[in-house]
Amino acid sequence: MNLNLLNHLILDSSNKQSIHKHRLIKHFFNLETASVSTLCKAMDMSTPSLLKLLTSLINEDWVEKNGYGVSIGGRKPELYRLKDKKIMILCVDIELFHTKIAIIDNNYNFILDVKAILLPISKSRTDFFNILHANLQAILKSAGIDWKQLIGCSIGMPGLIDAEKGENYSYFLSDGENISLTAAFEKLLNIPVVIQNDVNGSSMAEFTHGMAKDKKNVLVLLMDWGVGLGIIMDGKLRQGTCGFSGELGHIPFVENGALCYCGKHGCLETIASGNALSEMAKEGILSGKNSMLNTLSNEELERIEPSVIIKAANKGDQYAIQLLSNVGTYMGKGISMLIQLFNPELIILSGKIAEAKQYITLPMQQAINMYCMTQIREKTMINSSELGENSRLLGYTASGIDQFLEALIKRAKKPMG
């Protein structure tokens, strides 16, 4: 990872002191607010040593007081946090048909409104990179932000992603230099880059800001154009050996079903994803189904957004309701398997299709009642995410800043010369 542009975070002090400061900054970022006793435990430091370090960061304008914590008895402890805009990260959320861009700080403040551009994900890199870079240049210029002010860029996208190797084996396949996708992004942007799967972004957002916060065993089901699964077990986000865990959408569910883009037939994504929902709606309308979706233009019909079908259902359109019900039933069968495999305390439904709420959750629950053991399913709550459509950007911020700060600490530990 190229960290040459992170020198603005290296604080003037001895190497050992610098390491401690970066560690403390990282703890502040992950804890958001913390008392001296909490920081002493996290840093494994005595109170006098921690106070000396904390005072230094306050004097250097990195940390500020932030109210008081809860007291079990006696004085309430003072709380501290990082100041706003001390660290800023560029986040890019690449979806199938468009890309979202945001700049977010260490306290999860959006420095400017999220920008959505009509830039679909691509199999190759060149054209996508050129358009993305031009848009990023324009956005940063309009916001008055220099590239050197950014700690790095955190990019999320669908596909089979090995974050450690920096590769996506589904999209952005090399069409030129033989370098990893992460290295190619770093060369383009000239700042450090991390990449991750979109469902891991959703899961991290729920873990840090949503319903999964302070919980140990949670599954996050991303029901978007595809289907993905985030696994939080024993209080940690589990990604598997290569980061490939959670590929629920590519488990075959239907004998002799439709061909999935992964090469198999009858995958869950072919019957219960946003793409499947759009395709089923299109086929039904073209075959003469009675629905208010008949008013869509040919262009709109070519790729019907799930939100359009949900709006029709909310207006009482029976065909739209049936489409969503079918998706809910299939997803319920899939969730039954997950409940019996993982025994989670909570399953969070996120993504475009989760916005259908009762139109999918009721048939989903019926399927779970049918296919899942009673003793296990009764221990699992199922709720729709409350974080909103830009929640993944919060997840990308959390994982991105944490990784960049960890890289800084490792670099500071290396002997000089």
Same domain, 171 and 234: no
Quote the DSSP letter at residue 261.
Answer: T
Determine, yes or no, domain membership for 313. Answer: yes
8 A C-beta contact, residue 39 and residue 50: yes
Same domain, 173 and 225: no
| Other beta carbons less than 10 A from residue 169's beta carbon | 14
What is the pLDDT at residue 1? Answer: 45
Determine, yes or no, domain membership for 206. Answer: no
Please list, in sequence order, all residues whose beta carbon lies within 8 angstroms of the beta carbon of residue 7, skipping any fewer than 6 positions away.
Answer: none
| Other beta carbons less than 10 A from residue 251's beta carbon | 15
Same domain, 244 and 351: yes
What is the pLDDT at residue 6? Answer: 46
8 A C-beta contact, residue 329 and residue 366: yes
Pairwise CA distance, residues 196 & 204, whole Å: 11
Pairwise CA distance, residues 13 & 59, whole Å: 13
- Give the angle subtended at the CA of 74 by the CAs of 71 and 78, to the nearest 5°: 55
Domain hosting residue 24, numbered range: 4-82
Q: Which of 31, 53, 82 is the last residue of a domain?
A: 82
Please list, in sequence order, all residues whose beta carbon lies within 8 angstroms of the beta carbon of residue 185, skipping any fewer than 6 positions away.
Answer: 129, 153, 155, 193, 195
Please list, in sequence order, all residues whose beta carbon lies within 8 angstroms of the beta carbon of residue 358, skipping any fewer than 6 positions away.
Answer: none
Same domain, 188 and 228: no
pLDDT tens for the chain, 417 residues long, are: 444 444 445 555 567 888 899 999 999 999 999 999 999 999 999 999 999 999 999 999 999 999 998 877 678 899 999 999 999 999 999 999 999 999 999 999 999 899 999 999 998 898 899 999 999 999 999 989 999 999 999 999 999 999 999 999 999 987 777 899 999 999 999 999 999 999 999 999 999 999 999 999 999 999 999 999 999 999 999 988 888 888 888 999 888 888 888 889 999 999 999 999 999 999 999 998 999 998 888 888 888 989 999 999 999 999 999 999 999 999 999 999 999 999 999 999 999 999 999 999 999 999 999 999 998 999 899 999 999 889 999 999 999 999 999 998 888 777 655
Which residue, 343, 331, 334, 332, is CA-closest to 216? 343
Determine, yes or no, domain membership for 207. Answer: no
Per-residue CA distances from 55 to 7, 60, 63, 107, 112 (Å): 22, 9, 9, 20, 31
CATH classification of the domain holding 60: 1.10.10.10
Same domain, 365 and 406: no
How far, in whole angstroms, is CA 175 from its chain's centroid? 27
Same domain, 346 and 237: yes
Same domain, 147 and 235: no
Determine, yes or no, domain membership for 328. Answer: yes
Q: How many domains does the chain have?
A: 3
The H or E element spanning position 82 is: strand 78-82
| Sole residue written with tokens 């002997």 | 415
Pairwise CA distance, residues 191 & 350, whole Å: 31
Q: Which of 56, 82, 108 is the last residue of a domain?
A: 82
Give one DSSP letter per residue of 234-256, joined into a string: TTEEE--SSS-TT-GGGSB-STT
Amino acid at 243: G
The H or E element spanning position 408 is: helix 391-413
What is the pLDDT at residue 177? Answer: 76
| Other beta carbons less than 10 A from residue 48's beta carbon | 9
Same domain, 76 and 125: no
Which residue, 63, 81, 70, 178, is CA-closest to 125? 178
| Sole residue written with tokens 């706003």 | 84
CATH classification of the domain holding 380: 3.30.420.40
Same domain, 103 and 42: no
Pairwise CA distance, residues 260 & 272, whole Å: 12
Same domain, 359 and 284: yes
Please list, in sequence order, all residues whose beta carbon lies within 8 angstroms of the beta carbon of residue 413, skipping any fewer than 6 positions away.
Answer: 19
What is the pLDDT at residue 323? Answer: 96
How far, in whole angstroms, is CA 240 from its chain's centroid? 17
Quote the DSSP letter at residue 159.
Answer: S
Same domain, 157 and 291: no
Same domain, 243 and 375: yes
How far, in whole angstroms, is CA 291 from its chain's centroid? 35
Quote the DSSP letter at residue 212.
Answer: T
